[in-house]
Amino acid sequence: MSSFAKSQLIGLKADYFRHPLDKEATEALKQIPGIDMMVRNFLGPVAEQVFYVENIASSVLVSDKQLPDLHKLLLEACKILDIEPPQLYIKQHPAPNAYTFAMRGKQPFVVLHTSLIDMLTPQETQAVIAHELGHLKCDHSVYLTPVNILILAATTVPTVGAVLAQAIQAQLLEWVRCAEFTCDRAALLATQDPKVVMSVLMKLAGGSPTIAPQLNLDAFIEQARAYDDISKNELGEMVKVARTAQLTHPVPVLRAREIDRWASSKDYEKLLHSAKIGYNDEVAPKGWWRNW
């Protein structure tokens, strides 16, 4: 568990920490004709049943009696982020990953793969849990899982065709990548230590249970800062855009650089300060989110 007292963010609202690119991309996604109805009324109920059955049949549900240390990490992160605890499952899987599923009014759950836990410290594992809680706090999961299923259906069912998938895939992937920036901020708010969050990203980029302890975080942060230099000319920017266009997540060095910046911002400092004296119009962070 944590070695210092953390600020509990009572009354925290998603828009207090939502990344501006997330908000912009979410609004663009909602403009796709018919997607909201398809997600909520058709794909949502089907996806919910399929994922729930698969999860409960092949994973371990964390509780105060089952992996209690992980359960404590979950409860602490939920308390800090002011969110009701979802179910947390641990799944045996060789690919380090974590994901979230939720539909409105239904029981949400978070899944962590064993291979991810194997290379992380408890604090880093909590950062991953908090990242997934960020999806719930911001209501990302209402679209995230069902829309991915929509793309899969469009590419595999002839009557739907690949045209639909191609039409929305670029916009969807852009939205998903922007949402990840917001959830990294949730991880920082829960751990209240940017090095913990950046260490997770470093290990996702090039870690393993044996290599992870040897990695140098300071060197990775310098690597993240150097990534910015690529954008200083037009060719470099084109290469970066082409590299990320088909990815579901921003590249780890870019995510680390975003956290590095936000952790030193007045917005982040004011969020933690507001937690100590309660949110109100005088002390709650002011900025772009107030105008949306």
Pair 142, 39: CB distance under 8 Å: yes
The string of DSSP codes covering 211-275 is TGGG--HHHHHHHHHHHHHGGGSHHHHHHHHHHHTT-SS--HHHHHHHHHHHHTSHHHHHHHHHH
Return d(Cα 168, Cα 19) in angstroms, integer: 22
Pair 230, 161: CB distance under 8 Å: no
Q: For residue 285, what are the contacts with CB-CB under 8 A and spacing of at least 6?
A: 16, 267, 270, 271, 274
- In order, the DSSP letters of 160-182 are T-HHHHHHHHHHHHHHHHHHHHH
Element (H, E) at 285: none
Distance CA(172)–CA(122), nearest Å, equals 32
State whether the Cα torsion 287-183-216-224 is positive or negative.
negative
Tokens (6 digits) for 235:
């060719």
Query: Any idea how long the chain is?
Result: 292
Q: Which candidate in 132, 174, 222, 237 is catalytic?
A: 132
**Known catalytic residue: 76?**
no
Q: Where are the beta strands (DSSP E) in 55-108?
A: 60-61, 87-91, 98-101
Rounded to a whole number, what is the largest CA-CA distance in the chain?
57
Which residues are marked as active site? 132
